[in-house]
Amino acid sequence: MMFSQTRKNFTQNPKNDILAGITVSLAMIPEVVAFAFVAQIDPLVALSGAFIVGLIAAIFGGRPGLISGAAGAVAVIFVNLISEGHERGMLFDTPVENMGYFYLLAAVILMGLIQIGAGVLKLGRFVRLIPHSVMMGFVNGLAIVIFLAQVRMFSHKELQIGEDGLKRYINIPMEGTELYTMLALVGLTMAIIWLLPKLTTKIPSALIAIIVTSGVVIFGGLDVSTVGSYIIEGGGEGLKGELPTPNIELWQNLPINFATFKFILPYAFLAASVGLIESLMTMNLVDELTDTRGNGNRECVAQGAGNMVSGLFGGTGGCGMIGQTVININAGGRGRLSGIAMALTLLTFILFTAQYIEQVPIAALVGVMFMMVIETFAWSSFRIIRKIPVADAFVLVTVSAVTVIYDLAIAVFIGVILSALVFAWKNATMIRARKRLKEDGTKVYEIWGPLFFGSVQNFNNKFDVKNDPQNVVIDFVESRVSDHSAMEAIFNLVNKYEAEGKTIKLKHLSEDCKTLMYKASPKFEEVIIDAIDDPRYHLAADPEKFTKPLSEYKL
């Protein structure tokens, strides 16, 4: 049984997983190369990182079918570290060229250690705190970001020398025949991806679309932008490399001291946080798409291990990539074999078939990404936006906008904070106090609703200390004392009644609250009524105490 489950996680369908992995690797190359240019590092460094992180996360991660690699969200964080690292290297007694690269590797290793720590401490479970409105906003925002990134492909880079004498690459928009050819090839790719599944689902439509479009370009002799020309335009030397090996130069050039640790720590921590958020959000999306459940803590450890090994072998950092993951799922990739096939295919392309991959037209990959955008965007959000609470709609739109304008991690943090504030505000207004007088003149306040920091002020406003009778009882049977602010409010309220010379009793406090109140002051042993024969209280506080028939209790 265990072997069967393990095999199912490894691969449900070997053919689908392998073909999906090949498709994803083709779509990954130009994106990883683009991120390398953003971070100002050699494309081979990013491709090596994509291979190592992708392979380790696929084998040991907590979500079969999730694709990991050198993602842009992580690459952007390291831009300042690399540039400042270069400057630091020039200030050494013996100047070191490309010192920013060695600081990058050290930061990636530390990033991996932090992520492993997060997994060991089981922090991956906190992804459950991300509301659905945040998830939907994240998906929509990411779809827009990917779409805009593909739109920028409708231009080509041109080298220009500025007035300061520095060389710069600027984007020149396509026009005329070049633009129309690009649009036609993108349309052809999208049409194949859309139509082929109507005929057969046995082969990934995205892979066939890339092959057909590449054939049209190669045999038609069309002069269009390809993967190879794209790399060269960005300042690279094409796809050529060797098997990643441990980077010995890192330990020869990196100063191992507290100053280095202090310099790389902020970047490593931010990259680790962003990487885990994007990976866990992607895992959640795959859970929804496949109606299965992944292991967030295991994914944290696997991502961390992948980044550690990548840094040691001279590669950049990475995380789960939602775009490539969606392509993988849509192509039929469900098991770990799809991620393994992606990584090994990526390595094979770099080592042996780079000249062929360089001939793949950018238009084919843009078409694949456009179809992925259509699949990723939560179109249902337009239908439900007027039906869900205004606060949730605001969070959805805000997260989408922040994802596009700033960053995924910032968007998720803001979304969770907004949702938490909305939740706290709603619960703060739910506190109620039903008031009644007993035959002996005792006034009873029956508290209903959660008592916590947000509802303390409303709770205090329910009481009329000066005008209340001599004896007062506060009944918490339908309330839950949630935090220290709530206990402090009860403590102050008791003191106010006692200062007026009145007798106050507290009923139905939770066990943990009573324990803390007793520690705070011995006088609460007289104020709190402990012996209560009420099934409602026992069932809420400790279900095991509710053993007698309901008719035997005196309510």
Domain residue extents for the chain: 8-377, 429-552
Would you say residue 237 has pLDDT above 80?
no
Taking each helix axis from N to C end, the angle separating 14-39 and 322-330, rounded to the nearest 10 degrees, works out to 160
Would you say residue 555 has pLDDT above 90?
no
CA dist 70 and 35 (Å) reads 8
CA dist 122 and 525 (Å) reads 39
- Please state, in angstroms and as integers, the Cα–Cα distance from residue 342 to each residue in 13, 232, 299, 414, following that order: 15, 24, 18, 33
CA dist 399 and 521 (Å) reads 46
pLDDT band at 474 (very low <50, low <70, confident <90, very high): very high
- Judged by average pLDDT, the poorest of 44-48, 314-318, 431-435, 454-458 is 44-48
pLDDT single digits (tens) 516-537: 778 877 777 888 887 555 554 4
Would you say residue 136 has pLDDT above 50?
yes
Question: Residue 128: enclosing H or E segment and its boundaries?
Answer: none
Say what the pLDDT of residue 181 is: 92
pLDDT band at 2 (very low <50, low <70, confident <90, very high): very low
> Across the chain, what does the average pLDDT equal?
82
Task: Please give the share of the chain, as a percent, with pLDDT higher than 70.
Answer: 86
Residue 333: count of CB within 10 angstroms of its CB: 32
Residue 152: count of CB within 10 angstroms of its CB: 11
Residue 364: count of CB within 10 angstroms of its CB: 28
Instruction: Catalogue the E-assigned strands of 258-417.
Output: 319-320
Q: Mean pLDDT, to the nearest integer, of 401-414?
A: 80
Write down the pTM of the prediction: 0.68
- Judged by average pLDDT, the poorest of 7-16, 281-290, 427-436 is 7-16
CA 424: distance to chain centroid? Answer: 23
- Which of residues 374 and 235 earns the better pLDDT score? 374
- Please state, in angstroms and as integers, the Cα–Cα distance from residue 61 to each residue in 10, 131, 172, 301, following that order: 11, 23, 41, 8
- For the record, the structure tokens of 510 come out as 């939770």
Task: Please give the share of the chain, as a percent, with pLDDT higher than 90.
Answer: 25
Residue 113, Cβ density class (10 Å: 0-12 exposed, 13-18 middle, ≥19 buried): middle
CA 234: distance to chain centroid? Answer: 29
CB burial readout 507-535, b (16+ within 10 A) else e: bbbbeebbebbeeeeeebeebbeeeeebb
Say what the pLDDT of residue 51 is: 93
Would you say residue 302 has pLDDT above 50?
yes
* Cα-Cα-Cα-Cα dihedral sign, residues 458, 460, 463, 467: negative
Would you say residue 228 has pLDDT above 50?
yes
pLDDT single digits (tens) 163-196: 666 656 677 888 888 899 999 999 999 999 899 8
Q: Mean pLDDT, to the nearest integer, of 111-116?
A: 96
Would you say residue 407 has pLDDT above 80?
no
- Please state, in angstroms and as integers, the Cα–Cα distance from residue 39 to each residue in 106, 227, 264, 492, following that order: 15, 19, 16, 56
Say what the pLDDT of residue 66 is: 92
Say what the pLDDT of residue 241 is: 66
Residue 284, Cβ density class (10 Å: 0-12 exposed, 13-18 middle, ≥19 buried): buried
- Which of residues 239 and 545 earns the better pLDDT score? 239
Say what the pLDDT of residue 169 is: 60
pLDDT band at 337 (very low <50, low <70, confident <90, very high): very high
Would you say residue 352 has pLDDT above 90?
no
Would you say residue 545 has pLDDT above 70?
no
CA dist 237 and 234 (Å) reads 9
pLDDT band at 514 (very low <50, low <70, confident <90, very high): confident
Would you say residue 493 has pLDDT above 70?
yes
Would you say residue 425 has pLDDT above 60?
yes
CA dist 22 and 346 (Å) reads 8
Query: Please, which residues have CB within 8 angstroms of residue 131's CB and are 6 or more apart in sequence?
Result: 392, 395, 415, 416, 419
What CATH number was assigned to the domain covering residues 429-552? Answer: 3.30.750.24
- Judged by average pLDDT, the poorest of 3-17, 437-451, 477-491 is 3-17
Would you say residue 96 has pLDDT above 70?
yes
Most confident residue range from 145-149, 266-270, 427-431 = 266-270
Say what the pLDDT of residue 155 is: 80
Query: Please, which residues have CB within 8 angstroms of residue 287's CB and are 6 or more apart in sequence?
Result: 63, 293, 294
pLDDT single digits (tens) 47-61: 889 999 999 999 999
Would you say residue 379 has pLDDT above 50?
yes
Radius of gyration for the chain, computed over Cα atoms and rounded to the nearest angstrom: 30
